[in-house]
Amino acid sequence: MAEQARLIDIYIMGRQCQVPEGLTILTALEYCGYRMIRGCGCRAGFCGACATIYNFKSDPQLRYDLACQKTVEPEMCLVQVPYFPAVKAIYNLEKLKSNGATIKALYPDIVKCFGCNTCTKTCPQELEVMWFMSDALRGDVKAVVEKSFDCVMCGLCAARCPQGLVPYNVALLCRRIYGRYLASASAHLEERIAEIEEGKFDAEIDKLKRLNDKELRRRYTERDMESALEQHWE
């Protein structure tokens, strides 16, 4: 007989619940009947939507994490972060220039950053948020891209910034500028685009379209990703 997981007490929006030890916050919420109605990345939505604030009954210090990554702990008190409006500049990427003046023109408030580092301390991905904001202020687009590469746009940095800055949108702008104007052309990408335009994969795609849901799921779960990657790079 399989051994049952130990149950631990957690608090969700003030409600005491018992959940099996070892669950992520996300699965613990679902275990207790809650559903991420906005939809996070692993629940047919967008990654970063499961930003969570929590503390413990014996420790009021606030902590921040993504519900899909952090496992529950005894006496954990959970609060999901509701949607909050954050400034996002409107621009036409094709008309932008790849320099620091563009960043400041679209997000002039970045000059208000006084280096409190709250954004970095809040980031569940442990990114150096304050430092890439400093890079953005100097116009170093490449440095912003490198330091913000793993950003999932959860918005926790903006939610905690005392100056009301939006680091994740600044980083997104820099990644778009870099990809459009500064990044080297990818030979693999150009070759694949040419193959698609020539119709190399049309027959296989048509074949997949005719499969039923059960067969598609079987093929998906049985695919060998490592072998596919090895063949791609050979």
- pLDDT band of residue 234 (cuts 50, 70, 90) is very low
Pick the closest to residue 130 from 104, 149, 148 (CA basis): 148
Look up residue 1 and give its two tokens.
Answer: 């007989």
pLDDT above 80: residue 153: yes
* pTM of full prediction above 0.85: no
As a whole number of angstroms, the distance between CA 136 and CA 119 comes to: 15
- pLDDT band of residue 211 (cuts 50, 70, 90) is very high
Determine the pLDDT at residue 110.
94
Determine the pLDDT at residue 25.
92
What average pLDDT does range 63-85 have in this prediction? 84
Determine the pLDDT at residue 13.
86
The set of long-range contacts for 59-67, using a CB threshold of 8 Å and a minimum separation of 24, is 64/122, 64/123, 64/124, 64/156, 64/160, 65/25, 65/124, 66/124, 66/125, 66/152, 66/154, 67/24, 67/25, 67/26, 67/29, 67/36, 67/40
Could you give the percent of the chain with pLDDT greater than 70?
A: 88
- pLDDT band of residue 101 (cuts 50, 70, 90) is very high
What average pLDDT does range 77-103 have in this prediction? 85
pLDDT above 70: residue 84: no
pLDDT tens, position by position, 155-196: 889 988 999 999 999 999 999 999 999 998 888 989 999 999
Domains of the chain: 7-80 (3.10.20.30), 93-182 (1.10.1060.10), 187-224 (no CATH)
Determine the pLDDT at residue 232.
43
pLDDT tens, position by position, 36-55: 766 666 766 667 778 888 99
As a whole number of angstroms, the distance between CA 124 and CA 63 comes to: 9
The set of long-range contacts for 93-99, using a CB threshold of 8 Å and a minimum separation of 24, is 93/176, 93/177, 93/180, 94/180, 96/177, 96/180, 96/181, 98/141, 98/177, 98/178, 98/180, 98/181, 98/182, 99/139, 99/141
Cβ–Cβ under 8 Å, residues 91 and 177: no
Pick the closest to residue 31 from 5, 54, 56 (CA basis): 5
As a whole number of angstroms, the distance between CA 136 and CA 102 comes to: 10
Rounded mean pLDDT of the chain?
87
Look up residue 60 and give its two tokens.
Answer: 């009021």
CB count in 10 Å sphere of residue 60: 8
Phi-psi region of 82 (alpha: psi -120 to 50; beta: other; left: phi over 0): beta
Q: Partners of 132 in the beta sheet?
A: none
pLDDT above 50: residue 146: yes
What average pLDDT does range 142-161 have in this prediction? 91
Determine the pLDDT at residue 86.
80
